[in-house]
Amino acid sequence: MRKLLARELRLSLRHGTDSLAAILFFLVAGALFPLAIGPAPETLARIAPGIVWVCALLAALLPLDRLFGADAEDGSLDHLLLSGLPPAAIALGKAAAHWLTTGLPLLLAAIPMAIMLRLPDEALPALLLGLVPGTAFLSLIGTAGAALVLGARRGGVLLPLLVLPMAVPALIFGVAAADAAAVGLAARPHLLLLSALCAAALPLCPLAAGAALRSAAE
């Protein structure tokens, strides 16, 4: 597992344009909202959590298309499946690498975007705390979705249609936590529900992805 994770990180550094494209898309998409709805601070502050979460969700989808596709094209996926690791463990390693190379940078990029969108200072900690399990959840369901569409015709089109509906609960609880903190209410219930989603996805998504990888290899 350590070797798999190290391999994925080395490949990500070698092909850093994928992660860079996700971060740039996140920042550019967030910067378009003030141009579209106006620069009024009250309006921006009210919808800032939703903007950050939607942009993070869409940006996290960008590298998923090649999460397993590149390995399937050059035959590396067959070697991984024969390495002795269970397919679910391979999927978990892929999800961890996706979070480290995409989810974590998005989490850091959310700070300047939230400030740009005039998010209230008291809501920023709740937003960031929600993004930690939220981006992990997106990586897990994204990995499962990428494995399910592996080998399918026009899989890049099917992947967002499969992942986006499953990400809606995380979007709701993440935005609700920041909104609650902005008005002085407790964000803890929403953060706990978001963490529960991540805890449920941690075993289920790798198992589903592993079964899909086994089926694709056969």
What is the pTM (predicted TM-score) of this model?
A: 0.90
Cα separation, 163 vs 168, in Å, equals 9
The 10 Å CB-count burial string (b at 16+, else e) for 64-79 is bbbbbbebbeeeebee
Give me the pLDDT at residue 132, please.
95
The per-residue pLDDT for 30 is: 92
pLDDT in tens, the chain (218 residues): 888 888 888 888 887 777 888 899 999 999 999 888 888 888 888 999 999 999 999 999 888 877 887 788 778 888 888 888 899 999 999 999 999 999 999 999 999 999 999 999 999 999 999 999 999 999 999 999 998 888 777 767 788 888 999 999 999 999 999 999 999 899 999 999 999 999 999 999 999 999 988 887 77
Which structure tokens are listed for 104? 């974590």
Which pLDDT does position 149 carry in this prediction?
87
**Amino acid of residue 174:** G
